[in-house]
């Protein structure tokens, strides 16, 4: 696989009460065009990722909105896959190019979550679970991830302090990111003493509800070379699924879909986990990062929490994880999150990240997860020829 990323843009994530869904999407799309040096007429197809606009903004048909913003009439389609919506939209864009249907494709994601009642947001997010067996009885995502966390702590002797280091590290990285929702460092004690959400998870173990948008422009290698934008490319794009209900899994301390998607991505790219320099993983909850790093083969089962606490995943250490601040600190506007991860990797591989720049970054991996590991997508990017 060789798909060029010729434009990349991400709005700041946060509580944007003065910006509409359309405002955020337009900002990301137009800035991505500027980054690529293209005009709207150059875009041949559009994919837009979103999960909650129908419930929270009373707005669907976002494909038409995205084309309307650019003033063009090309095919434009909304993609939904819960928190993995953005990554699935990227896969759709890649498929459009590989099929020969389009040479230049825009992939965007947007979510507006903060200026509505939190109960509505919680109910909307619960629709990504198996609602008949989980959501209907009030099993929210924090509650389900608390079950996963307790099972993992019991099985592998993970300490509460080790778990807290995930958030501490990601906030430290987020403090260096001008686009992050939270730009403040925290301590282990801050995490432990924050409000309890679902035992053992506290408020600072959970990603925030954020507004934001992200956009990338993909093209064939030939088009990228023609406009001298061939420095970053996607060399693997995979997806896998598991049971929608957590209760239907054989094990809940690992996510099979991540393992399968990761294995297929390494095979597609012709690399191993040891070749990866930086990773953006789905850390909607601190426990999710630990499991993802083990499922992706970066650490042995039951050891990632210890390694994180030892600083092994800090900026420019053994493996830089979530240099952006991750969903925890950068923010988690659902539809934009997976594309925002790709934007971070592109900017890192272009050496555009300033204080959070990963030294000698050559290969980056993005991992996006919808539901509790029900839908997973993995992308691998490189700046190597």
* Domains within the chain, CATH numbers bracketed: 3-117+210-226 (3.40.47.10), 129-208+235-382 (3.40.47.10)
Residue with the two structure tokens 């700041």: 12
* pLDDT tens string 53-65: 999 999 999 999 9
Catalytic residue among 181, 230, 282, 332: 332
Mean pLDDT of the chain: 97
CA pair distance 92, 78, nearest whole angstrom: 10
Whether omega before 200 lies within 30 degrees of 0, making that bond cis, reads: yes
Round the CA-based radius of gyration of the chain to a whole number and report it. 19
pTM for this prediction: 0.97
Q: Known catalytic residue: 282?
A: no
Q: Known catalytic residue: 171?
A: no
CA pair distance 44, 171, nearest whole angstrom: 38
* pLDDT tens string 282-315: 999 999 999 999 999 999 999 999 999 999 999 9
| CA separation, residue 38 to residues 28, 72, 345, 381, 383 (Å) | 14, 14, 21, 22, 21
Task: Show the tokens assigned to 301.
Answer: 């089962």
Catalytic residue among 10, 52, 83, 353: 83
Which residues of the chain fall below pLDDT 50?
Answer: none
| pLDDT the model gives residue 216 | 98
| pLDDT the model gives residue 117 | 85
| CA separation, residue 142 to residues 127, 148, 286, 371 (Å) | 14, 10, 11, 11
Residue with the two structure tokens 């408020």: 203
Q: Using alpha carbons only, give the angle 313, 317, 323 rounded to the nearest 5 degrees.
A: 55
β-pairing, 45-49 with 233-241? Answer: unpaired
Contact 341, 85 (CB under 8 A): no
Report the Cα 64 to chain-centroid distance in Å. 24
Cβ neighbours of residue 24 under 8 Å, at least 6 residues apart? Answer: 11, 16, 110, 112, 211, 212, 213
Task: Show the tokens assigned to 338.
Answer: 């997976």
φ and ψ of 185, to 5 deg: -70, 150
β-pairing, 212-219 with 104-111? Answer: antiparallel
């Amino acid at each position: 696989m060789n798909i060029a990323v010729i434009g990349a843009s991400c709005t700041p994530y946060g509580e944007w009460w003065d910006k509409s869904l359309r405002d955020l999407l337009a900002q990301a799309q137009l800035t991505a065009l500027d980054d690529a040096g293209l005009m709207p007429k150059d875009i041949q197809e559009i994919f837009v990722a979103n999960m909650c606009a129908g419930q929270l903004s009373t707005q669907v048909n976002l494909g038409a909105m995205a084309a309307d913003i650019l003033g063009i009439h090309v095919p434009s389609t909304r993609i939904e896959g819960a928190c993995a919506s953005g990554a699935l939209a990227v896969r759709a864009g890649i498929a459009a190019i590989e099929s020969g249907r389009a040479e230049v494709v825009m992939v965007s994601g947007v979510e507006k979550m903060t200026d509505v009642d939190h109960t509505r947001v919680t109910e909307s997010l619960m629709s990504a679970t198996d609602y008949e067996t989980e959501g209907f009885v009030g099993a929210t995502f924090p509650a389900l991830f608390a079950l996963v966390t307790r099972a993992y702590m019991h099985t592998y002797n993970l300490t509460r302090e080790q778990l807290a280091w995930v958030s501490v590290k990601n906030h430290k990285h987020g403090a260096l990111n001008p686009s992050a929702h939270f730009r403040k460092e925290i301590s282990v004690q801050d995490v432990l003493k924050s409000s309890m959400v679902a035992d053992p998870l506290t408020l600072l173990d959970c990603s925030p509800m954020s507004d934001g948008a992200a956009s990338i422009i993909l093209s064939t290698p030939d088009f990228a070379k023609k406009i001298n934008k061939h420095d970053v490319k996607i060399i693997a794009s995979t997806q896998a699924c598991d049971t929608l209900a957590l209760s239907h899994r054989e094990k809940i301390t690992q996510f099979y879909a991540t393992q399968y998607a990761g294995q297929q991505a390494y095979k597609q790219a012709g690399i191993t986990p040891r070749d990866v320099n930086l990773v953006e993983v789905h850390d909607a909850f601190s426990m999710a990062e630990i499991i993802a790093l083990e499922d992706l083969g970066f650490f042995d089962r039951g050891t990632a929490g210890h390694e994180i606490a030892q600083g092994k995943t800090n900026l420019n250490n053994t493996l830089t994880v979530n240099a952006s601040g991750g969903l925890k600190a950068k923010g988690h506007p659902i539809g934009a999150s997976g594309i925002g991860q790709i934007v971070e990797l592109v900017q890192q591989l272009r050496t555009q990240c300033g204080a959070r720049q990963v030294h000698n970054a050559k290969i980056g991996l993005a991992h996006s997860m919808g539901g509790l590991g029900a839908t997973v997508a993995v992308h691998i990017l490189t700046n190597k020829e």
